[in-house]
């Protein structure tokens, strides 16, 4: 899998502070005034926002290109309706020779991996055979949920923070944890000051499904 940060809010720190302080300042050029604040004052304001005001976080956006993740992952990923998404279509893209994800439990068991790879080969052959008679939109029904796909996703800082609480949780599946760690790392590369906003100190409560099946998400 691969995650690229393809677009993000420029001068995000100053924008955060500006939106937070708009209700408090009555000057003609408040944005420039805030840009000119010393760094220690900016950091003090950011620390305060981390504990209290979160509405301003919604003004800062990040757009990610996420490649070679599974359909199983994206089915859960897009349930977060506060994000925006565009995904590779199996209806129009010919998936012959598709790549797929192998879970660690299967990778670590030689016989299981052999069986798993054999099934994937059979599915690919069945897909190719179907494509001789029907379009991709009809043949795609035989494709596995662990097939690789690509998706573009946009989150604001607040939503990324809230989603990280569940997707970086030890209860989350490994693929979810890995993708979100890569997303967070991409953000921190361009906005190092954002790391405390994206490092959960508590985890989201498990769903009923997790409560019934501990360790799964």
Instruction: Look at the chain and report how many structural domains it folds into.
Output: 2
**10-residue block means of pLDDT along the chain (217 residues)?**
95 89 72 88 87 85 96 87 86 90 92 97 96 93 94 94 84 87 95 87 50 40
Indicate if 179 and 100 belong to the same structural domain: no
pLDDT value of position 191? 94
> Measured between alpha carbons, how far is 191 from 165 in angstroms, rounded to an integer?
19
Last residue of a domain, one of 107, 124, 142: 142
- Does residue 215 sit within a domain? no
Active site residue 140: no
pLDDT at position 204 is 55
pTM above 0.75, yes or no: yes
Among 142, 158, 184, give the residue marking a domain's end: 142
Are 91 and 131 in contact, with CB atoms under 8 Å apart? no
Of the listed 67, 81, 140, 167, which one is catalytic?
A: 167
What angle separates helix 12-21 from helix 39-51, to the nearest 10 degrees? 70
Domain that holds residue 188: 2-86+150-209
Which of 102, 122, 142 is a domain's end point? Answer: 142
């Amino acid at each position: 899998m691969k995650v690229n940060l393809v677009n993000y809010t420029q001068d995000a720190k100053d924008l955060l502070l500006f939106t937070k302080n708009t209700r408090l300042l009555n000057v003609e050029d408040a944005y420039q005034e805030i840009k000119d604040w010393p760094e220690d004052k900016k950091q003090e304001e950011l620390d305060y926002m981390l504990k209290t005001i979160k509405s301003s976080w919604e003004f800062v956006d990040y757009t990610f290109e996420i490649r070679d993740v599974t359909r199983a992952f994206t089915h859960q990923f897009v349930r977060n309706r506060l994000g925006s998404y565009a995904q590779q279509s199996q209806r129009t893209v010919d998936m012959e020779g598709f790549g797929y994800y192998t879970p660690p439990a299967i990778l670590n068991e030689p016989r299981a991996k052999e069986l798993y790879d054999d099934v994937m080969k059979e599915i690919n052959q069945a897909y190719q055979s179907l494509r001789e008679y029907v379009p991709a939109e009809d043949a795609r029904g035989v494709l596995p949920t662990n097939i690789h796909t690509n998706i573009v996703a946009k989150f604001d800082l607040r939503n990324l923070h809230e989603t990280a609480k569940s997707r970086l949780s030890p209860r989350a599946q490994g693929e979810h944890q890995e993708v979100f760690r890569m997303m967070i790392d991409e953000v921190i590369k361009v906005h190092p000051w954002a790391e405390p906003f994206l490092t959960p100190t508590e985890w989201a409560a498990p769903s009923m499904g997790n409560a019934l099946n501990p360790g799964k998400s």
